[in-house]
């Protein structure tokens, strides 16, 4: 139980998680709550503030999300953003005008009143708008505190209570308030004590793990990804030799993955990592399968088989640790009709339900950036922590059609050249995810004096905040030319290098 928290009610905005992260950046714990759960017992225990998110719906013809009285019972400060502001207006008899078109983009915001929420904010700033309906008349007993030259009111405040509504989005960096609006709400209005710090999170988790696990043993599937690595690090710190990590090589890993893990955990004395090479088994079972979903299923099932047989060898294991993080928890809680852009989760791992083992998930309250900070503080090497995400089914989603060992080897070599060059040119940390995709087609090339037929690979690099939407990374042309030449010169099976410039949506990040 947390001593204090801010609740973010999720009305289906693409920015809900961003709001939550902005609160966490202010060293304050927050939880994302679905509107259906507002009435649940204990939902508001220890809540020091509430933020109502934006959302794609309209309050004018739909009462589904009308705010219940319970929300206002204890005078907890409330900030409504966009749709959240419209809900507040509707509750207190303001006027909301329906619109068929969206106002989207930058607007100049003028602060009209000196109120706590605008402390330290310039009198005139650029603000990010993304809304359809507008509030055209302030509700009873509310004042307008900011406006833009666009239609409708931009910010309002209750004359008596700490209830605010703002039409723009303070959580996105396009709103140039230097983070002050959320800072003011969290610190000056909700009066957070600011004790959600990396050190406190680590200390609290370590005692929680010790209390739960006691003398039992824990097993953990270590993949080389950030989440399982940080979960391993914190559990190891808590119970040391009672943890056994199992690293399964499924033949679909990147080049030198095992070495990267060994290197990443170099400073962890006595950490038990069992390396299992099951690549032959995985690749045999994948033979002749071309359907992407089928490939995923085979890999998932094989992983469980191997993991289970390894886990059986650890006699006293009563716990299975997983690197589940907060976005996974939120996404599975959100109802499917409301969350408009849901990341598909097809993580390989876990054990069948019939096995008698308890789940330990020390990162389930944390966002990825918090997990990374924890990892660094716990002593994992930054290179491992700052790696781009890598999907559970590995290279199987990056080899189109049948997965073959020779294809995987070609892809590994090409991808390694690409990724190394991104590091060399200081581009790696500017990109959210980069990788190479193998096409099982042949294309003509000239090598030496003759014609040759080689395979084609495609480079993919995207920038994204949440992996639900993404933009292609804008490479300098010199880089592309150099990397393509290097790949073709060093991987003889490859004759051609392409670049994927699609956004998500409509494309996805992986190719499958």
Catalytic residues: 82, 169, 171
Residue 271 CB, nearest approach to ligand XMP (Å): 23
Q: Which is nearer to ligand XMP, 161 or 504 (CB)?
A: 504
Q: Which is nearer to ligand XMP, 72 or 467 (CB)?
A: 467
Instruction: Examine residue 509 and tell whether it contacts ligand XMP (CB under 6 A).
Output: yes
Residue 393 CB, nearest approach to ligand XMP (Å): 5
Rg (CA), the chain: 26
Tell the residue number behind the tokens 């909301």, with chain if given: 96
Instruction: Examine residue 323 and tell whether it contacts ligand XMP (CB under 6 A).
Output: no
Q: Which is nearer to ligand XMP, 176 or 507 (CB)?
A: 507
Q: Which is nearer to ligand XMP, 344 or 356 (CB)?
A: 344
Instruction: Examine residue 327 and tell whether it contacts ligand XMP (CB under 6 A).
Output: no
Single out the segment in contact with ligand XMP by CB under 6 A; choices: 107-115, 141-149, 185-193, 385-393: 385-393
Q: Which is nearer to ligand XMP, 153 or 304 (CB)?
A: 304
Single out the segment in contact with ligand XMP by CB under 6 A; choices: 115-123, 260-268, 310-318, 338-346: 338-346
Instruction: Examine residue 349 and tell whether it contacts ligand XMP (CB under 6 A).
Output: no
- The tokens describing 207, both together, are 């005692």
H-helix segments, 387-476: 405-424
Q: How many CB atoms lie within 10 A of CB 94?
A: 20
Distance (Å) of CA 401 to CA 34, 56, 292, 378:
40, 38, 8, 40
Contact partners, residue 127, CB within 8 Å, separation at least 6: 106, 107, 108, 109, 148, 154, 168, 169, 170, 174, 175, 176, 177
Single out the segment in contact with ligand XMP by CB under 6 A; choices: 3-11, 137-145, 384-392, 445-453: 384-392
Q: Which is nearer to ligand XMP, 264 or 391 (CB)?
A: 391
Instruction: Examine residue 347 and tell whether it contacts ligand XMP (CB under 6 A).
Output: yes
Single out the segment in contact with ligand XMP by CB under 6 A; choices: 36-44, 140-148, 243-251, 390-398: 390-398
Q: How far is residue 275's CA from residue 122's CA, in Å, rounded to a whole number? A: 56
The 3-state secondary structure of 22-43 reads: HHHHCCCCEEEECHHHCCCCCC
Beta-strand relationship, 103-111 and 243-249: unpaired
Instruction: Answer whether 38's CB lies under 8 Å from 84's CB.
Output: no
Instruction: Examine residue 362 and tell whether it contacts ligand XMP (CB under 6 A).
Output: no
- The tokens describing 394, both together, are 């590995």
Instruction: Examine residue 465 and tell whether it contacts ligand XMP (CB under 6 A).
Output: no
Choose which of 389, 447, 471, 481 interacts with ligand XMP (CB under 6 A): 389
Size of interface with ligand XMP, in residues (CB under 6 A)? 14
CA 210 to chain centre: 28
Q: Which residues of 228-264 are buried (b: 16+ CB within 10 A; e: fewer)?
A: bbbbbbbbbbbbeebbbbbbbbbbbbbbebeebbeeb
Choose which of 49, 323, 393, 454 interacts with ligand XMP (CB under 6 A): 393
Instruction: Examine residue 297 and tell whether it contacts ligand XMP (CB under 6 A).
Output: no
Instruction: Examine residue 442 and tell whether it contacts ligand XMP (CB under 6 A).
Output: no
Contact partners, residue 362, CB within 8 Å, separation at least 6: 205, 208, 209, 231, 234, 235, 321
Instruction: Examine residue 505 and tell whether it contacts ligand XMP (CB under 6 A).
Output: no
Q: Which is nearer to ligand XMP, 175 or 433 (CB)?
A: 433
Instruction: Examine residue 346 and tell whether it contacts ligand XMP (CB under 6 A).
Output: yes
Residue 150 CB, nearest approach to ligand XMP (Å): 33
Residues in contact with ligand XMP by the rule CB under 6 A: 343-344, 346-347, 389, 391-393, 433, 467, 504, 508-510
């Amino acid at each position: 139980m947390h001593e204090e928290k801010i609740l973010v009610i999720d009305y289906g905005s693409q920015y809900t998680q961003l709001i939550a992260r902005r609160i966490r950046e202010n060293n304050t714990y927050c939880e994302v709550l679905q509107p259906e759960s507002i009435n649940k017992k204990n939902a508001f225990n220890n809540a020091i503030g509430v933020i109502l998110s934006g959302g794609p719906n309209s309050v004018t013809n739909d009462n589904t999300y009308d705010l219940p009285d319970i929300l206002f019972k204890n005078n907890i400060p409330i900030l409504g953003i966009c749709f959240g502001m419209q809900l507040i207006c509707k509750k207190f008899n303001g006027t909301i005008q329906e619109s068929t078109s969206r106002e989207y983009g930058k607007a100049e915001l003028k602060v009209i009143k000196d109120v706590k929420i605008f402390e330290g904010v310039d009198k005139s700033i650029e603000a990010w708008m993304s809304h359809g309906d507008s509030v055209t008349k302030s509700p009873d007993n509310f004042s307008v505190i900011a406006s833009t030259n666009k239609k409708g009111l931009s910010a309002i405040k209750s004359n008596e209570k700490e209830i605010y509504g703002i039409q723009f989005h303070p959580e996105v960096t396009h709103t140039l308030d230097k983070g002050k609006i959320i800072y003011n709400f969290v610190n000056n209005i909700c009066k957070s004590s600011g004790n959600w710090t990396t050190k406190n999170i680590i200390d609290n988790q370590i005692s929680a793990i010790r209390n739960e696990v006691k003398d039992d043993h824990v097993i953990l599937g270590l993949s080389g990804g950030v989440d399982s690595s940080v979960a391993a690090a914190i559990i190891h710190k808590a119970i040391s030799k009672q943890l056994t990590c199992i690293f399964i090589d499924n033949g679909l890993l990147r080049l030198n993955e095992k070495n990267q893990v060994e290197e990443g955990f170099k400073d962890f004395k006595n950490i038990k990592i069992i390396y299992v090479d099951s690549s032959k088994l995985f690749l045999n079972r994948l033979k002749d399968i071309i359907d992407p979903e089928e490939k995923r299923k085979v890999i998932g099932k094989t992983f469980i088989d191997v993991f289970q047989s390894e886990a059986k060898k650890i006699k006293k294991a009563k716990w299975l640790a997983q690197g589940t993080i907060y976005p996974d928890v939120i996404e599975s809680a959100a109802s499917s009709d409301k969350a408009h852009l849901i990341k598909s989760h097809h993580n390989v791992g876990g054990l069948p339900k019939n096995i008698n083992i308890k789940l330990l998930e020390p990162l389930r309250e944390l966002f990825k950036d918090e997990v990374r900070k924890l990892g660094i503080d716990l002593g994992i090497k930054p290179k491992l922590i700052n790696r781009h995400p890598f999907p559970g089914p590995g290279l199987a989603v990056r080899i189109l059609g049948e997965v073959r060992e020779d294809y995987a080897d070609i892809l590994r070599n090409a991808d390694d050249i690409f990724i190394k060059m991104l590091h060399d040119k200081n581009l790696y940390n500017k990109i959210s995810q980069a990788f190479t995709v193998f096409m099982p087609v042949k294309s003509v090339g000239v090598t030496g004096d003759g014609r040759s037929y080689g395979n084609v690979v495609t480079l993919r690099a995207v920038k994204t905040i949440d992996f639900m939407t993404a933009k292609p990374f804008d490479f300098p042309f010199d880089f592309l030319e150099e990397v393509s030449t290097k790949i073709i010169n060093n991987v003889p099976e490859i004759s051609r290098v392409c670049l994927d410039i699609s956004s998500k949506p409509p494309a996805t990040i992986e190719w499958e």
